[in-house]
Chains A and B, each alone.
Chain A
Amino acid sequence: MLLISCPNCGPRDETEFHYGGQAHIAYPENPNDLSDREWAEYLFYRENTKGTFAERWVHSTGCRQWFNMLRDTVSYDIHSIYAMGQPRPDTQSGLAPGAPTASAPTSSEGV
């Protein structure tokens, strides 16, 4: 069981949270202009990083707020927790080769 530090409520058991998948996926700026391929990317394609992964969680049975988290998908260690809308913290050292870094869109994300 993961012990997750909600930014509002402090450390709580994983069972109080729900997983929201990859973080920093922006809603398409011009949905009408997307090709089928781009829609597929937006809807179905997500990074599946082996290593440090930026993901979203919601504290469903607590404050019900969403937040972002950097977690290692192999060791399950949590590296950092940061607010929605914040860019992904720089943790170059812990990155798996090829993991999305600065190129991942970090602005204008939704929840």
Chain B
Amino acid sequence: MSADHLPEHPDFLWRNPDPKKSYDAVIVGGGGHGLATAYFLAKNHGMTNIAILEKGWLAGGNMARNTTIIRSNYLWDESAAIYEHALKLWEILPEELEYDFLFSQRGVMNLAHTLGDVRESVRRVGANRLNGVDAEWLDPQQVKELCPILNINDNIRYPVMGATYQPRAGIAKHDHVAWAFARKCDELGVDIIQNCEVTGFIKDGNRVTGVKTTRGDINTEKVGLCAAGHSSVLAEMAGFRLPIQSHPLQALVSELHEPVHPTVVMSNHVHVYVSQAHKGELVMGAGVDSYNGYGQRGSFHVIEEQMAAAVELFPIFARAHVLRTWGGIVDTTLDASPIVGLSPVENMFVNCGWGTGGFKGTPAAGLTFAHTIATGAPHKLNKPFALERFETGALIDEHGAAAVAH
């Protein structure tokens, strides 16, 4: 087909303005969290003279690299509250943003492979129910009924002994989520500025008054950091430390297949998680690479191990081909919970530490972080996720407790 026959280029969803000299607030990072924060700042707090500064392109970080799993079946009350709030927002956002980003509530299963897993899982189902989170315990036969391609026989190293199941959980198209937020932000007057790297901060004593960028200095009343894997780099520029370690996290897809996988299956023990994207690719992820890393790639053995686990659990995947693998940089904390709140620098706020599982939290991160920035105090949902918890010892330890960290 010649170029003459191509349809008109669709409308762009947002402007690409030059940065202004000053804003009421600047959000660093144009991933899902930065976009959602700007959206709620504008919508809930009437702050529209604000900008999102993104060093690369919109959603080019973890936002469009994740495996898009959304669930709220976390163990601890604080986590269940914020992730469940996020899930409720996911349920209304397509309408609110007037954009069908294919949020598919196809359920998420977390497999148990050992007696320890079983006990942990049944406990989590109970905790979830007490917190109003939909959760069920499935025996292996029920697992098989929900996901017929799963191997529940005992011919594998770690047979399936059951699973927790959250029916309202699922997946969404991450790039569309970013575009949906970006379009609304733009409509509300937010400047989305790409190719604009923050290289330093301007301070008056301990108060931030501006940002230095590759596109000039910008004055601002408030700064919100939403830089995921680069959070500690930015904090260091601002003169404080974060208890964050950045690790590569990889994912991959197969070529397209007919629909074979009706739900989302995650296994902490053999460490793989699998869903089938709307187009038909099998989407799989696993754990982080053990070492600190800022390269958006990891080691091959991680992929090899996750494929071995996938083929044991799903024998029909044995002949599928890997089409693409990639990595993102995730910001992990020692309690596997995020940090959303104030920082040691006045008028600077941090949202980070969502690590391997912050896509699902995007709407709640945005809502609570916007509240924190606008009012100078945390929302009740993010209050427990303050930086101080590492000093007070009030950790929210979701390691293991959260089934798998994605």
A→B interface (CB under 8 Å):
1-2, 13-15, 18-19, 21, 36-37, 39-41, 43-46, 48-50, 53, 55, 71, 73-76, 98
Contact = CB atoms under 8 A, between A and B. Distances in A.
A55 B291 contact: yes
A19 B293 CA distance: 12
A50 B233 contact: yes
Main secondary structure, interface of A, reads mixed
Interface stretch (B27-35, B243-251, B397-405): B243-251
Contact of A76 (B241, B293, B390): B293
Nearest to A14: B299
Given A1-B299, A2-B299, A21-B245, A48 B292 contact: yes
B391 interface: yes
Contacts of B21: none
B18 interface: no
B301 A40 contact: no
Given A36-B391, A44-B334, A48-B246, A19 B291 contact: yes
Given A46-B245, A48-B244, A71 B301 contact: no
B292 A53 contact: yes
Interface string B286-309: 000011111100011100000000
Contacts of B290: 18-19
A71 B291 CA distance: 10
A98 B232 CA distance: 12
Across the A-B interface, the 5 shortest Cβ-Cβ residue pairs: A48-B232, A19-B290, A44-B243, A40-B391, A44-B390
A45 B291 contact: no
13 contacts: A13-B301, A14-B301, A43-B334, A44-B243, A44-B333, A44-B334, A45-B242, A48-B242, A48-B246, A50-B294, A74-B293, A76-B295, A98-B236
Contacts of B232: 48
A54 B300 CA distance: 23
Contacts, number: 64
Contacts of B241: 41, 45
A54 to B, nearest CB: 11
B299 A45 contact: no
B294 A45 contact: no
Interface in B292-350: 292-295, 299-301, 333-334
Given A44-B334, A74-B295, A1 B300 contact: yes
A14 B298 CA distance: 12
Contact of A73 (B294, B299, B333): B294
A55 B292 contact: yes
B2 interface: no
A39 B393 CA distance: 10
A13 B302 CA distance: 13
A46 B391 CA distance: 14
Nearest to A38: B391
Given A36-B392, A46-B243, A74 B294 contact: yes
Contacts of B293: 73-74, 76
Contact of B243 (A45, A73, A75): A45
Given A1-B301, A46-B245, A48-B245, A73 B390 contact: no
Contacts of B246: 48, 50, 73
Contacts of B391: 36-37, 39-40
A73 B245 CA distance: 11
A1 B303 CA distance: 11
A58 B245 CA distance: 19
A25 B233 CA distance: 20
Nearest to A48: B232
Contacts of B390: 40, 43-45
